[in-house]
A and B are shown apart, each in its own frame.
Chain A
């Protein structure tokens, strides 16, 4: 009996220590640029980027073509654990990886941010939402691509307050991302004259039942329940809010971060009418439809969303900078590559024209969408109606408000 108990405990400890480190296949070659895509390939954020983010990176490499150097894409699963992410990042940079890309889950994203700076390598984050990456924790080695908590808060939060949702209660994932999203949204709500009545912070990623938190939120009598979470957590929250009749009785749900695959997983029946913010939608204009069509053979029956396609956009711009300054110089200093990326204007089919600010923030427009009703949806993946566009220069936190040390005042 006691042997069983002991082995049981040993197994649960073993289960958390399982990850092995991925190894590089070949020795370092001076004429090869290595891009390491580090993301969640087995957990709640897998469908948002995961294997699709990798394919989008490969598409960028293929479209970039041969400019006199080879490009190799390697990948790993960080399992949303900062310690696993940092170990892989350290090993990759030491073994000659030039750029780490993607890195969802803000706690991991912030941890890898420090490694890149310490090793003077390039780091483009497309997956983490925390606005601290270009604020208090900004780094000359880091570019933050297509979204952040400030941009989500301004677009979705601002629109909800304008529509009369002036009292809020937050259901927040208890880690860096949830805290940042709650903070940034709360700031907008208060600035618009609204009130934050309370918040409940639940353990991430160990929570799948949100009914208790939803009932607490409802008891606060707030007009809006702000979901400061993402992925499967958001899906479960919305599903259970519908079950408890919360939206039917006038309380509004604000899904502060939602991606196209989340809507797909919920089904339009449950998701209809939700408003959400993304900086990309495949059916937005001719350019987005064109790039989606080029990507489709790689993504099979999945459509790109702002997170997966940001890897395409970011890898393309990075390779442009490398070609511009030469492979030797770009391998020598991550700061120099990032500076060159900031100096060059961005333009691609996914996000259109834009630029990278001195704090590392890539600027692009943000779009407020409403999820269509089943009757309005004419084809598979026809999910969004555009209701508002915030131009690139206004979508993100003003440069001087982030507290980034790279910004000269």
Chain B
């Protein structure tokens, strides 16, 4: 087959696909951040820690309760969301009237504490979590060998992202949420319990992070720093897409996954940096982000 820029075409297609898979994680995580920021005006730096908690919850369910992957996919996000709701009630809800910076510092502190606790309990080298038997094995696509599990991750991420987008843009509940973002006092005057809605929204954003964590558990080492590696990149994704834009964060997540994937072929040393270079360019050219409203 032909070469494209000196790289055999099959290899390049494979890398595009792998980029899309990593993009699925970026999309899920940045979506949760966008939802939380959109409604709560909180920059949730604990998001990476909550992603990690999702993976650990799946491991605990299996190791301590014998509960397998499929139930974990449902239960782990709920468990982690409950901890998120508690955090919101106890700490975060006190900061809504203050500058963004306070919420950011609080959630950053919470992330450090959570990661520290997990590191003390479980060490840093991680825990094994196996791919569920139904999803092990691989498809031979001709140009590459695609593990079934990776294909599943992309599908699951797309479904979750689209469902979230539909709920927020197309349902009555979503309409309340969007209205509360614009003018909370007015929505409350119509009899909607806005503080509860805010709490549940935070829980939902956290659940998205935890679901991504469960999806990640079989392919990455389940370890306490797995989220902190990812969170800074995800923030860059959110900044590029535009803070608070739901569709923007989904599209940007997948696109940047692909861009990063290609960088891994052409200039691997720069693959950790490329997203930040794009971020810098976007900030200069379009400060509100690609999909954000200025």
Contact = CB atoms under 8 A, between A and B. Distances in A.
Nearest to B115: A42
Interface stretch (A133-141, A151-159, A203-211, A389-397): A203-211
B165 to A, nearest CB: 21
A214 to B, nearest CB: 9
Interface string B75-114: 0000000000000000000000001110011001000000
Nearest to A263: B125
A212 B147 contact: no
Interface in B158-191: none
A43 B10 CA distance: 36
A109 B243 CA distance: 41
Contacts of A200: 264, 268
Interface residues of B, number: 62
A269 B130 contact: yes
Contacts of A202: 264, 268-269, 271
B8 interface: yes
A208 B230 contact: yes
A5 B219 CA distance: 32
Given A42-B119, A207-B272, A216 B138 contact: no
B131 interface: yes
B220 A47 contact: no
Interface in A88-136: none
B128 A231 contact: no
A1 B126 contact: no
A274 interface: no
B211 interface: no
Contacts of A235: 125-126, 221
Contact of B126 (A3, A209, A212, A232): A232
Contact of A244 (B138, B235, B264): B138
B18 A1 contact: no
Given A3-B99, A235-B221, A11 B269 contact: no
B243 A11 contact: no
Interface residues of A, number: 53
B255 interface: no
A201 interface: yes
A203 B273 contact: yes
A240 B272 contact: no
B27 to A, nearest CB: 15
Contact of B119 (A10, A46, A208, A236): A46
Interface stretch (B64-72, B192-200, B286-294): B286-294
Contacts of B43: 4, 7-8, 11
A348 interface: no
Contacts of B119: 42, 46
A266 interface: yes
Interface in B26-48: 37, 41, 43, 45
Contacts of A85: none
Contact of B226 (A46, A208, A261, A264): A208
Contact of B124 (A203, A206, A232): A232
A219 B8 contact: yes
A4 B100 contact: yes
A3 B99 CA distance: 9
B268 A209 contact: no
A46 B15 CA distance: 32
Interface in A264-323: 264-267, 269-270, 302
B232 to A, nearest CB: 6
A44 interface: yes
A8 B33 CA distance: 13
B21, B116, B144, B264: most-surrounded residue (chain A CB, <10 A): B264
A206, A211, A212, A302: most-surrounded residue (chain B CB, <10 A): A212
B287 A5 contact: yes
B22 interface: yes
B201 interface: no
B239 A266 contact: no
A232 B104 contact: no
A213 B145 contact: no
Given A216-B11, A239-B221, A232 B100 contact: no
Given A4-B243, A215-B11, A244 B147 contact: yes
A206 B14 CA distance: 22
A212 B230 contact: no
A8 B147 contact: no
Nearest to A235: B221
A219 B283 contact: no
Contacts of B138: 244-245
Interface in A181-220: 200-203, 205-209, 211-213, 215-216, 219
Contacts of B223: 232, 265
Contacts of A201: 268-269
A195 to B, nearest CB: 19
B225 interface: yes
A232 B127 CA distance: 10
Nearest to B235: A8
A236 B128 CA distance: 10
B261 interface: yes
Interface of A: 1-5, 7-8, 10-12, 15, 42-48, 50, 174, 200-203, 205-209, 211-213, 215-216, 219, 231-232, 235-236, 239-240, 243-245, 261-262, 264-267, 269-270, 302
7 contacts: A4-B41, A12-B232, A202-B264, A208-B226, A209-B22, A261-B125, A265-B127
